Chain A
């Protein structure tokens, strides 16, 4: 009964079929079975945000989801966003502004920041802070992260007009 269950899902545009034990969470599935280790595991109870991924286009905590629940879904990890070039400018802004030190929170930060920028092209600092409020960073003090997101939003707006 606790035997593996067959799942089939799309990860970063590639179809995967696997057998997973019910207790396996999506973060561990991505990291251990697919070797997509950009998704980090921090607190394992939804507080730190390091495991943030996209599920059917929306950000979710992959530590608060069972891999079996992702059956039939489309998942995008930081590897997907990075390889497609979707967050290249955001990554560059993080680098330029020193918005990371150890980097542990960065994949989740990029996921959450990109989610905000998709919904809200001109967020103010308060809105940026609120959208990233579910992502812990223990190095930067957040100021530089907010700067990087703000700068990226401004540059994206500029390049569109």
Chain B
């Protein structure tokens, strides 16, 4: 199908975009790369009256590292994340995750800000932001505010952003000493939305985690930071410890059922991912040898 008719404004600055959003509120939609918005409009899932195109706002583009903080502008495209030496050095989890985001032609247009603001619970980048403990930088007419990624995602396509605000950047702590990451997802076809996926960031030394953030996607209405991961921190991970954490994970998850998978299949896949993740991060293939849980 084709999108229904709308008016179009090409924002000339962040200030100008905010003025347009203040005037039109939720009758307007922000267009950045359009790789989530355009399908939704073509399918007539949404029919905004006004499109505010922020694609020309070069001030929202780019990647910078300063004082232990990696800042990524909202308009930075997936392909730029994938090729950036700064991302490879300081947030390698993202490089791995991006390879699973759709296909090359989509990654050439799609932006990190667009993906996060869209907040599809099955998409990779929101979970990565939660795993990396990112801060989402939001600008409104009253100035800027910062919110932890774990509090930003509220539900399916729902975030803390109001209709008058713009997501302008994300800030990530650079990877610490002994930092390690893991990314894996199950999908029907490479690049499709995940059936279940896991993005994890850890600090491990001597076979013991001192920090482990496991952010699941496609198993809830938003990225889920597994509380059960705490059972794996500060202890020698044995099959019994892992099995207990795995049982805890299955209990805390409340996955949806759809045409791709049942809730119990998603729960099972989440446990498989946990075992793979822990085995990979600790270099302990024995922990992934048996069936989980």
Residue of B nearest to A63 (CB): B42
| CA A1 to CA B49, docked complex, whole Å | 10
Closest to A57 in B: B108
B156, CB-defined interface residue at 8 Å: no
Say whether B284 faces chain A, with CB atoms less than 8 Å apart: no
Contact across chains for A22 and B38 when beta carbons are under 8 A apart:
no
Is B190 a contact of A2 with CB atoms below 8 Å? no
User: A46 to B108, Cβ gap below 8 A?
Assistant: no
> Which one, A8-16, A64-72, A86-94, is touching chain B?
A64-72
Interface of A, secondary structure class, is mixed
Binary contact track B1-32/A, C-beta < 8 Å → 1, others 0: 11111111010000000000000000000010
Residue of chain A at shortest CB distance from B4: A23
**Which residue of A2, A61, A115 contacts B109 across the interface (Cβ within 8 Å)?**
A61
Q: Which residues of A contact B6 (CB under 8 A)?
A: 2, 22-23
B145: Cβ under 8 A from any A Cβ: no
Contacts of A23 in B (CB 8 A): 2-6
- A112 close to B38 (CB less than 8 A): no
The smallest beta-carbon distance between B222 and chain A, in angstroms, is 23
> CB-defined interface of A49-83 with B at 8 Å, one 1/0 digit per residue?
10010010011110111101100000000000000
With known contacts A59-B104, A134-B104, A46–B35 Cβ distance under 8 A: yes
By a CB distance below 8 angstroms, the chain A residues around B106 are 46, 61, 64, 134
Is there a chain B Cβ closer than 8 Å to A130's Cβ?
Answer: yes
B235 within 8 A of A: no
Asked whether A5 lies within 8 Å of B190 as measured between CB atoms, the reply is no
Q: Quick check: B7 and A49 within 8 Å, CB to CB?
A: no
| Chain A residue with the shortest CB-CB distance to B110 | A64
Contact partner of B38 (CB less than 8 A), chosen from A55, A64, A129, A133, is: A64
Closest 7 CB pairs of A and B: A134-B103, A22-B8, A45-B39, A1-B7, A64-B38, A58-B108, A133-B190
Taking A23-B2, A64-B34, A66-B8 as given, write out 13 further A-B residue pairs in contact, using a Cβ cutoff of 8 Å, ordered by the A residue number. Answer: A2-B8, A21-B5, A22-B5, A22-B8, A49-B105, A60-B108, A65-B34, A66-B53, A112-B104, A133-B103, A134-B103, A134-B104, A134-B105
